[in-house]
Amino acid sequence: MQNLHQKITETLIEYRKQEGLLIELTQEADFTKFYLELGYSSLFEYLNIGQGISAATVSNLITVARKAVQIPAMKEAIDSGEVGLAKLRKVSSVITSENKSEWIEKSKKLSCRELEKEVAKVSTYKPRRDFWQRINTDYFRLSIDATESFKALAERAQDVFSKKCQANKTLTEVFEWALNEALAKHDPLIKAERAKAKMKSVTAKQSVTQDAGPTDNKREHIPQDILNQVILRDKGRCSFEKHGRRCRHRRFLDIHHIKPVNDGGKNTVENLATLCETHHIYLHHQEEIDRSLALIRRLRLEQGIRG
């Protein structure tokens, strides 16, 4: 028994040291944004989807990695093998340069539950990331943090929809109804599909070759019919693709000119692409990013040689 206990203790120390290395690599990834080249638009998406790490663990890892940039003592505590990632995540909202010794010591000595109680005494609540958990082939469980006003809205919507249907409706049914109503009015993809259905007299070939773009290198408003075709073609999703993988993001989308307007690029379907904000910025600043990455790699190589 004593031998088994010793082995577990030693293995946990090594495991935490590996957590420290993972934090260091996460910090580097967060700084270099190398995952953009792989078609991921966020560090969270890269670690969660690309590396298969659970959403909860990724949230812990990124939070601690970013906090440890400001407070290196957090990583040192993990490197020592005395405290793990999960505990430092719990104190990340309250730890500062002034009180770091106190909270790191508490992280070493207290259980997770005791640590949560200590943090709750001084912490202001921050909503956590929403989580989807698969229950079976047909259902997910959604975990969210809601305010009183959201609760009131949800209950009122439940009353309205139940009356409309003359039957009691669950919150799942209410949210599905409300979301469909909202998307019908505001989703550019749905609006583009409606517009396409109304334009039966315009052939696909004429639409694709239509040139409504600028002739004097000045940025002009993109005609709605051209914009609709781009949205439909890209299916309301970022079109950035690299190494056979396409970005998954459907939020915060921009329309990108493949050939810039300043270089004579026009508002044609062929010259326009849907990009998420992150990849849009990345493409516009790709040269600067590549130079920065090359410099970082050279400095790390030089440090390794000197070491």
Q: How far apart are CA 156 and CA 51, in angstroms?
A: 41
CA distance 111 to 281: 43
Angstrom distance (rounded) from CA 68 to CA 151? 36
pLDDT of residue 125: 66
What is the band of 268 on the pLDDT scale with cuts at 50, 70, 90?
very high
Please give the pLDDT value at position 209: 44
Per-residue pLDDT reduced to its tens digit, 130-140: 878 888 888 88
The total number of residues shown for the chain amounts to 307
Q: Which of 223, 224, 238, 213 is nearest to 191 (CA)?
A: 224
Structure confidence by residue, pLDDT tens digits, 170-183: 999 999 999 999 99
In the chain, pLDDT over 70 holds for what percent of residues?
90
Spell out a b/e string for 71-109, using b for 16 or more CB atoms within 10 Å of the CB, else e: beebbebbbebbbbbebbbbbbebbeeeebeebbebbee
Q: Which two tokens stand for residue 248?
A: 């998954």
- pLDDT band for position 212 (50/70/90)? very low
The per-residue pLDDT for range 32-68, each reduced to its tens digit, is 888 988 889 899 999 999 999 988 899 999 999 999 9
Q: How far is CA 29 from CA 6, 35, 40, 75, in A?
A: 35, 7, 12, 16
CATH number for the segment(s) 198-286: 1.10.30
pLDDT at 204: 46
Tokens read off for 181: 């109503």
Which pLDDT score is estimated for 41? 85
Q: Among residues of the chain, what percentage have pLDDT more than 90?
A: 34
Spans of all domains in the chain: 2-122, 146-186, 198-286
Using CA atoms, how far apart are residues 50 and 279, in angstroms rounded to an integer?
17
Mean pLDDT of 98-115: 92
Select the more confidently predicted residue: 218 or 290: 290
